[in-house]
Amino acid sequence: MINHGTRSGYYAHRRLGQTPCDDCRAAINEYVREYREKNGLARNRAGEKVRRKAMAALRDRYREEYEELVEEFRAEESNLI
Ligand SMILES: [Zn+2]
């Protein structure tokens, strides 16, 4: 007995050596999509935090260059160069 349209249905098909039906494939695709979305977001958030820290450290370490670059880009933005 396969419970079609569910994740366990998908695995049941596979266990029986069958190609999963469309409903079961749709269920597993949805599950994988949600999983990636959730875990991808968590990973991104952690990565963002680390990058922000690194940027702040760089800014402190190269304060003068940073200020120069800010001035340079600001000038570019206002088309002064
Ligand atoms: Zn099925």
Least confident range from 6-10, 13-17, 43-47, 61-65: namely 43-47
The model's pLDDT over 23-32, given as tens digits with 9 standing for 90+, comes to 999 999 999 9
Distance from Cα 49 to the centre of ligand 1, integer Å: 42
The model's pLDDT over 32-43, given as tens digits with 9 standing for 90+, comes to 999 888 888 888
Kindly state the average pLDDT of the residues 48-52. Answer: 91
Q: Give the integer Cα–Cα distance in Å for 26 and 33.
A: 10
User: What helix, strand, coil percent values describe the chain, rounded to 5?
Assistant: 80, 0, 20
Distance from Cα 32 to the centre of ligand 1, integer Å: 16
Residue ranges near ligand 1 (ion) with Cβ within 5 Å: 4, 9, 21, 24
Q: Give the integer Cα–Cα distance in Å for 78 and 76.
A: 5
Share the mean pLDDT of the chain: 92
Distance from Cα 30 to the centre of ligand 1, integer Å: 14
